[in-house]
Amino acid sequence: MTYAQQLKIVQTIPVQEGETLVVTCPFCYGPKKLAVSKSGGKILWYCYRASCEAKGAYSGRRNQKAVRDYLSNTAPTKNKPVKPIPSITTSVENHPPAMEYLHSVNSVEAYKNKLINIRYAPAEDRVLFYGNNGAVGRSLRRFGPKWLSYGELPDGIHVGTGDIAVLVEDTPSACAVSRLDGLVGVALLGTTITSGIKKTLNKFTKLYLVLDKDASSKAISEVMKIDRSIRVRLTGSDLKSLSTNQILSVINKG
């Protein structure tokens, strides 16, 4: 069988970007003999049976997801270690410093209105903000890493209800945004719109991205490549320290 014929068959195997599948070889029919992997849009295949000639590599055009990952600077995540969410937690209301912290970052309303689950992890001394399958924890200690993430948060953390999304870097800022009716704060948990987050944005009618005023023009053009409909707003102030009126004026300017 020629390389081109093999490729045609291998391309029908539903292997996802960043994944390796071991399947029944479609050429020698050996069960669990053919390994197929896809990375950066490149397909590799190889049959473990010595008598089988199935083997090849194809670096055709990058598929859409590989392109998006590339644009958003995220390598396909494969074996990234996942830190489990702390199992022992208590209500933030049992721990005054946790409530003080939430007050200081305008996140109490989001918590009280149940727009986000927030708890305190005593062993870690961290305030946990929960997303779908994970959480981010803000340390209340003066030393050590300020933020840690637990579990998996490919969608970022969405706070609030409405048709308009405001993309922000961190979760307290997303909580602060959610105080405004109709606005959903989406914490990117970084400065890039990953492909996972991008997928969650279809349901919104308007998208804003709030970046630090020092954001590079490169960062902005990367965003525009990902979605031209995103309205970028630059601000010198931290959203989580602003009143709702101040947040509105950041979003409505420009």
Contact residues: Zn ion, CB under 5 A:
25, 27-28, 33, 47, 49, 52, 54
State the minimum distance, in angstroms, from the CB of residue 10 to Zn ion.
11
Judge whether 154 and 199 are in contact, CB under 8 Å: no
Kindly tell me which of 54 and 108 has the beta carbon lying closer to Zn ion: 54
State the minimum distance, in angstroms, from the CB of residue 53 to Zn ion.
8
State the minimum distance, in angstroms, from the CB of residue 6 to Zn ion.
10
Phi first, then psi: give them for residue 30, nearest 5 degrees: -70, 125
Kindly tell me which of 51 and 245 has the beta carbon lying closer to Zn ion: 51
Q: Residue 222, Cα to own-chain centre: how many angstroms?
A: 16
State the minimum distance, in angstroms, from the CB of residue 24 to Zn ion.
9
Would you give the end-to-end CA distance of the chain in angstroms?
60
Kindly tell me which of 47 and 239 has the beta carbon lying closer to Zn ion: 47
What distances in angstroms separate CA 36 from CA 10, 16, 41, 133, one per listed residue? 8, 10, 12, 29
Judge whether 28 and 54 are in contact, CB under 8 Å: yes
State the minimum distance, in angstroms, from the CB of residue 1 to Zn ion.
10
Exposed/middle/buried for residue 44 (C-beta within 10 Å: 0-12, 13-18, 19+) = middle
Kindly tell me which of 32 and 112 has the beta carbon lying closer to Zn ion: 32
Q: How far apart are CA 90 and CA 239, in angstroms?
A: 27
Kindly tell me which of 48 and 70 has the beta carbon lying closer to Zn ion: 48
